[in-house]
Amino acid sequence: MYSVFRQLAEKWLRIPPEPEPPPGDEASARVFRAAPKFLQYLKVMWGITTGFSFLLALVPIGIIIAIFADDGSYKGEVVAALVGVEVLLLAVLSGHALFRLALVHLDYEKRWYLVTDRSLRIREGVATVREITFTFANIQNLSVTQGPIQRLLGIADLKVETAGGGSGASAQQHQTVGLNLHTAYFRGIDNAEELKGLIAARMRGHKDAGLGDRDDHHAPVQELPAASLSFNAALEEVLAEARALRQAAAKP
Partner 1 sequence: MRRRLCSNETVPAQPDTGIFALERPQPSLWKLYVIRCILSGPAIFITLPYHYFRYLTLRYRFDEEGIHMKVGILFRREVNLTYARIQDIHLSSGFIQRWLGLADVQVQTASGNSGAELVIEGFREFEAIRDFLYSRMRGARGDSRPAAAAQPGHAPQAAGEGSVELLLQIRDELRRTREALETRSQHPDV
Which residues, 70 to 89, sit near partner 1 by CB under 8 A? none
50 binds partner 1 (CB under 8 A): no
Indicate the residue among 56 and 242 with the shorter CB distance to partner 1. 242
Q: Which stretch binds partner 1 (CB under 8 A): 20-28, 45-53, 59-67, 104-112?
A: 20-28
Q: Is 96 helix (H, G, I), strand (E, B) or coil?
A: helix
248 binds partner 1 (CB under 8 A): yes
Tell me how many residues contact partner 1 (CB under 8 A).
75
Q: Is 154 helix (H, G, I), strand (E, B) or coil?
A: coil
109 binds partner 1 (CB under 8 A): no
Single residue of 168, 193, 194, 200 touching partner 1 by CB under 8 A = 168
Q: 168: how many CB neighbours lie within 10 A of its CB?
A: 13
* Residue 46: CB minimum distance to partner 1, A: 22
Alpha helix (H) ranges present in 2-75?
2-12, 36-70
CA distance linking residue 58 with residue 161, whole number of Å: 43
* Residue 45: CB minimum distance to partner 1, A: 24
Single residue of 130, 149, 151, 154 touching partner 1 by CB under 8 A = 130
- In what side-by-side order are the strands of the sheet with 111-115? 30-32, 111-115, 119-124
Indicate the residue among 94 and 133 with the shorter CB distance to partner 1. 133
131 binds partner 1 (CB under 8 A): yes
95 binds partner 1 (CB under 8 A): no
CA distance linking residue 63 with residue 56, whole number of Å: 12
Single residue of 49, 133, 141, 145 touching partner 1 by CB under 8 A = 133
CA distance linking residue 49 with residue 36, whole number of Å: 21
CA distance linking residue 188 with residue 174, whole number of Å: 9
* Phi, psi (rounded to 5 degrees) for 74: -100, 150
CA distance linking residue 45 with residue 107, whole number of Å: 14
252 binds partner 1 (CB under 8 A): yes
Indicate the residue among 197 and 212 with the shorter CB distance to partner 1. 212
17 binds partner 1 (CB under 8 A): no
Single residue of 1, 4, 11, 14 touching partner 1 by CB under 8 A = 14
Instruction: State which of positions 173-232 bind partner 1 (CB under 8 A).
Output: 177, 179-182, 184, 201-202, 204-206, 210-216, 218-224, 227-228, 230-231
**C-alpha radius of gyration, the chain, whole number:** 28
* Residue 159: CB minimum distance to partner 1, A: 14
CA distance linking residue 192 with residue 37, whole number of Å: 13
CA distance linking residue 249 with residue 243, whole number of Å: 10
4 binds partner 1 (CB under 8 A): no
